[in-house]
């Protein structure tokens, strides 16, 4: 489960990303995010979560 909050920690929404290429886009200046713990389906194998965080910034003089 992914939860998006405002800067005060008030929950804005929660969503389960279940399909390949599911994404959330958020304004990093005004929101925070947290994710639930994961556990393996098969206790003999490791569990994993793929995460890619991309930050876009405007360089001075490049507006």
Model-wide pTM > 0.75: no
CA torsion 10→53→28→7, rounded to 10°? 20
Q: Is residue 31 part of a domain?
A: yes
What pLDDT does residue 56 have? Answer: 83
- Domain for residue 7, yes or no? yes
Can you give the residue range of the structural domain that contains 28? 2-35
Q: What is the mean pLDDT of residues 12-40?
A: 90
Query: Residue 15 contacts by C-beta under 8 Å, 6 or more apart in sequence?
Result: 1, 2, 24
pLDDT at 32: 93
User: How far from 25 is each of 12, 20, 29, 31, CA to CA, in Å?
Assistant: 13, 15, 12, 10
Quick check: 6 and 34 in contact, CB under 8 A?
Answer: no
Residue 22 belongs to a domain: yes
Indicate the number of domains in the chain. 1
């Amino acid at each position: 489960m992914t939860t998006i909050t405002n800067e005060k920690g008030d929950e804005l929404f929660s969503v389960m990303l279940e399909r390949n290429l599911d994404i959330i886009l958020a304004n990093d200046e005004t929101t925070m995010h947290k994710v639930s713990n994961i556990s393996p389906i098969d206790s003999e194998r490791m569990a994993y979560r793929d995460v890619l965080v991309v930050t876009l910034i405007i360089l001075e003089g490049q507006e």
